[in-house]
Amino acid sequence: MVKATYKDAGVDLDVYQESMSRLPRLLHRTYSPRVLKLDGGFAGLFKLDFKNPLFARNYDDPVLVGCMDGVGTKLKIARLIDRHDTIGIDLVAMSVNDAICCGAEPLFFLDYIAMATDEPDVVEQIVQGISDGCVEADCALLGGETAVMPDHYAPGDYDLGGTCVGVVEQKKLIDGSAIDVGDTVIGVASSGLHSNGFSLVRQVVFDHNGLGVHDEVPELDQTVGDLLLTPTRIYARPVRRILDHYRVKNVVHGIAHITGGGLCENLERILPEGVQARIDRDAWTPPAVFEWLQDLGGIEPDEMDRVFNMGVGLVLVTSSYFADTIRRILSDAGLDSWELGEITAGPKQVVWNA
């Protein structure tokens, strides 16, 4: 009788343990005193409030905010170039940027990594990026799960999922309901493609044009791989600066994370009935990566607008009186921004001005 082992089935527990042994330091660097350290425990522990004056929040009516997302087929680019440290930043950004749309302070992050076979070096790179993203978002990497499933994924494949939990005072909750006629629409610059539309990107770049990840893009002075792996921008700190600047007044009426669906679909999601956002197409110039991709694939402008962020990664809808100050805060944080348009009366929609 053959004596079956887990290793023969494709899961080497010794290699798995090697992967896990590399991760605690990457979690610990994200911790604040609000994290109760429990290495080896079955869950992560986080204190919602803290008596130390530096961390005390003294919540009156806290609301927990939860977001979950992945990175999509951008993972294929990471695998092609065999570089996995930036994809973790993308994973954090996709959930954290959603959480801050409610005005939430990100508290902690949990990751899920599923692989065909355990690869300690790859796992370490991925979690290094997740850790870097959490440091930038000022949230703790509280824990996660690495699943090895040799019969479920093709050799070399892996997938990622991430969850962010944040908190916001009920009276400070941003849900778009306060958006009104006369408000200003501010666009905040993306870092490029972010993490959406990569099924189309891969088809255009690799299948239709035969480019490789190490090919140079002369007009952009980057290789294809480096260009496509530019990590998603995390907006947690600059948004927190804005909200902290206006502790009494609620001057930010709506926030939209511009992901799949583009500017129109994501901005429309936060508009209340009876108002529309009128956007000036000439208010900003999309980064060169979008023109390069559009020319490469002969992609129609409407398709570009619907699939990609076109250089605007986040939108703030604010009281017009405070728009200039908010843009100065964004500039001080190193971010470009533009006054994209205004809110007017009309059917709930986003309208492009001619």
Q: Tell me which residue of 200, 181, 206 sits closest to 262, measured CA to CA.
A: 200
pLDDT (0 to 100) of residue 248: 87
Percent of the chain scored above 70 by pLDDT?
99
Cα 271 to Cα 264: distance, rounded to the nearest angstrom = 11
Q: Tell me which residue of 330, 351, 327 sits closest to 339, measured CA to CA.
A: 327
Cα 94 to Cα 340: distance, rounded to the nearest angstrom = 23
pLDDT, tens only, 90-135? 999 999 999 999 999 999 999 999 999 989 999 999 999 999 999 9
**pLDDT band for position 13 (cuts 50, 70, 90):** confident
pLDDT (0 to 100) of residue 52: 78
Write down all domains in the chain, each with its CATH number in brackets: 13-172 (3.30.1330.10), 184-353 (3.90.650.10)
pLDDT score of 64 more than 70: yes
Average pLDDT over residues 245-262: 95
Q: Tell me which residue of 31, 36, 62 sits closest to 47, measured CA to CA.
A: 36
pLDDT (0 to 100) of residue 354: 65
pLDDT (0 to 100) of residue 63: 97
Report CA dihedral (314, 68, 26, 149) to the nearest 10 degrees. -140
Q: Tell me which residue of 179, 330, 340 sits closest to 254, measured CA to CA.
A: 179
Average pLDDT over residues 61-87: 96
Least confident of 46-60, 62-76, 213-227, 229-243: 46-60
pLDDT (0 to 100) of residue 234: 98
Least confident of 55-59, 91-95, 192-196, 219-223: 55-59
Burial class (CB in 10 A: 0-12, 13-18, 19+), 178: middle
pLDDT, tens only, 140-196? 999 999 999 998 999 989 999 999 999 999 999 999 999 999 999 999 999 999 999
Q: With helix as H, strand as E and coil as C, how does the chain read? A: CCCCCCCCCCCCHHHHHHHHHCCHHHHHCCCCCCEECCCCCCCCEECCCCCCCCCCCCCCCEEEEEEEECCCCHHHHHHHHCCCCCHHHHHHHHHHHHHHHHCCEEEEEEEEEEECCCCHHHHHHHHHHHHHHHHHHCCEEEEEEEEECCCCCCCCCEEEEEEEEEEEEHHHCCCCCCCCCCCEEEEEECCCCCCCCHHHHHHHHHHHCCCCCCCEEHHHCEEHHHHHCCCCCCCHHHHHHHHHHCCCCCCEEEEEECCCCHHHHHHHCCCCCCEEEEEEHHHCCCCHHHHHHHHHHCCCHHHHHHHCCCCEEEEEEECHHHHHHHHHHHHHCCCCEEEEEEEEECCCEEEEEC
pLDDT (0 to 100) of residue 181: 98
**Helix 236-245 and helix 323-332: axis angle, to 10°?**
140
Residue listed under structure tokens 């909750």: 173
pLDDT score of 50 more than 70: yes
Average pLDDT over residues 35-62: 87
Instruction: Please give the mean pLDDT across all residues of the chain.
Output: 94
Model pTM score: 0.95
Average pLDDT over residues 248-253: 94
Query: Which is more confident, 267 or 54?
Result: 267
CB within 8 Å of 248: residues ≥ 6 apart: none
Query: Which is more confident, 307 or 55?
Result: 307
CB within 8 Å of 331: residues ≥ 6 apart: 337
β-strands 337-345, 275-280 pairing: antiparallel
pLDDT (0 to 100) of residue 4: 85
Cα 276 to Cα 274: distance, rounded to the nearest angstrom = 7
